[in-house]
Structure 1
């Protein structure tokens, strides 16, 4: 596994503020920023702050951040983008006052899934996106606890994909996230652990 330099990525939309602090990156998301397409709400939001670089086939990326959210729909994690209508965001989102681990998979329209993780508040979260075959496998963990499977989603093996850390602040208040690392590794060997 190797570190990805923060300077390697390019923002989809510039955050309100970005600062390198030690080895980490502190990012302030603009109030009202979000990524969503149509489903249930009827709107398209394309204003997320995602720092992306090329995500080759048979490669995994990991993004770590300190979880400290306070406003409805505050969110951070990893973002994978093919084009404006084909993308995935996965990580933790504050929904109705509870931290939730989840993903939004978008192919024309968005598909959202969540699972409550209130015990993760105030801790370090790592989200991993592993690209192999015709899929991307999303896993996450808190601190050094075991990985949890978040989502397996189709992803064309021939697609040009860019991925990296992201955050959004859909409410009326900005959000500041401390990203502690961004790393690249070989893709996971399989979907399930041996044994």
Structure 2
């Protein structure tokens, strides 16, 4: 996408720093803390806000792309992009392990969380890019595996005047020690259209 610029890892701020972070020429290797998660109430009855997210500003009219690879093994191991206004208003989208298979999905939270997903077993262990594009009163989430086609994941509301931030996230609700390598973190203009996205 034209107009994209790389975001230095050091220029973003951690919400809930992970157990370990290692930056090198290949990217950022993150190791999760025990039972880290983002969720509010729905079905499970608990509130969790201790997952790991490395966030930078996401003004209206902009987009964030995050590329990562991880061996998701335990139930609910997950990584992708977080868009956050506050503890009650946020979106996480990416790949999550459930029922023994990686799933592409999103959780949209406005007081309470929801969850949508679809299995992507062929994405296991491969490089995945998730894009959050904010324009007007909405955030559009798309994802692709390596150089494959973009898939629409979610269109979710976000107030135009909300001060939001976005960036890579990961968590491991059932264990400690999920390792995620983030290899790309870029910002750019919001997608010009809801359809016909160009690489």
TM-score, with normalisation over the residues of structure 2? 0.96
Runs of 4+ in 1 over 3 A off after TM superposition: none
Q: Structure 1 unaligned runs (5+)?
A: none
The residue number in structure 1 matching 2:125 is 122
1:56 offset after TM fit, Å?
A: 1.0
Q: Which residue of 1 aligns with 2:76?
A: 73
Q: Does 1:26 align with 2:36?
A: no
Question: Counterpart of 2:169?
Answer: 166
Deviation at 1:57, TM superposition (A): 0.8
Q: How many residues align?
A: 194
Q: CA deviation at 1:146?
A: 0.7
CA-CA distance at 1:53 after TM superposition? 0.8
Structure-1 separation of matches of 2:47 and 2:27: 31
Deviations 1:137-187 (A, max 9, x none): 000000011100000000111100011000001012320100001011110
Show the counterpart of 1:152. Answer: 155
How far 1:23 moved relative to its partner?
Answer: 4.2
Alpha-carbon distance in 2 for matches of 1:16, 1:109: 27
Describe the superposition over 1:21-80 as per-residue Cα deviations: whole angstroms up to 9, x where unpaired: 214000001120000000000000010100001111100000000131111100000001
Q: For the Cα contact (< 8 Å) 1:130–1:136, is it kept in 2?
A: yes
Q: How does 1:83-162 map to 2 (within 5 A)?
A: 83-162=86-165
CA distance in 2, matches of 1:23, 1:2: 17
Q: Distance in 1 between matches of 2:34 and 2:102?
A: 19
8 Å CA contact 1:53–1:163 kept in 2: the answer is yes
What is the distance in 1 between the residues matched to 2:66 and 2:196? Answer: 21
Partner of 2:10: helix, strand, or coil? helix
The residue number in structure 1 matching 2:57 is 54
Q: Does 1:186 align with 2:173?
A: no
CA distance in 2 between counterparts of 1:23 and 1:102 reads 26
Distance in 2 (CA, whole Å) between partners of 1:94 and 1:174 is 15
Q: Report the alpha carbon displacement of residue 96 of structure 1 after superposing the two structures with TM.
A: 1.4
Secondary structure, in 3 states, of the residue corresponding to 2:114? strand
Structure 2: gaps spanning 5 or more residues: none
